[in-house]
Amino acid sequence: MVEIRKIVTVVEETHSEGGRRVDPAARVAVVAAVIQNPWAGQGFVQDLTPGIEANGSDLGALLAPRVLEALGAPAEAFGKAAIVGVNGEIEHGSGLIHFLGFGNHFRRAANATTLLPAVEKRGPAGIVFDIPLKHVTDATIRSHHQSLEVRIADAPHPDELIIALAAAAQGRPQQRLAAFSPDQL
């Protein structure tokens, strides 16, 4: 597997929203691996498949159980991210996270059936990114459409990637939007 510089875990609990208590507290978690970009220094690589197959599944297998353990509850919403250092291409991150060998680890662990929403972005160390989350079995459930803001102060370096998974144990705190009607889909 590709070289991992660090793994960052963030857990957030919201106890109050809109001036009202949230009980139980709304819990979200993210686990991010800061890795060496497997294509760093190679120039334009036409076929990314060997690097994706060599690293994508292992990254999914590493991150999926960690984010669920950090969440400490069954996941009701989930998402993923690939943040590329400035020397890399968006396609490098996209290739790793939009690979069933990566995402299926999380889907199986979370008993999920929907596609994982994603963010891909290139930027310098300390870039802020938002991981979108959707319900694990029904992406039309609006209460679970939310995002988690993440920032790792010293990552990604120019030749690194941040590969992250995020999960929520519930929908947005104090959500009160009506369910989608058939004409809104």
The average pLDDT across 154-176 equals 95
| pLDDT recorded at residue 61 | 98
Which residue from 180, 162, 181, 174 is spatially nearest to 34, judged by alpha carbons? 162
The segment with the largest mean pLDDT, out of 3-12, 141-150, 173-182, is 3-12
8-state DSSP, 144: G
> Which neighbouring-strand residues pair with 11?
29
pLDDT, position 38: 97
Give the CA distances from residue 24 to residues 9, 21, 169, 170, in Å, rounded to whole numbers and listed in that order. 21, 9, 10, 10
CATH top class, domain 4-184: alpha beta
Domain ranges of the chain: 4-184
**Which helix H or strand E contains 56, and what residues bound it?**
helix 49-71
**Strand 20-36 relative to strand 146-151, pairing:** unpaired
Task: Tell me: pLDDT of 107 over 90.
Answer: yes
Integer Cα distance of 84 and 120 in angstroms: 8
Distance CA 96, CA 82 (A): 8
Share above pLDDT 70 across residues of the chain, in percent, rounded to a whole number: 96
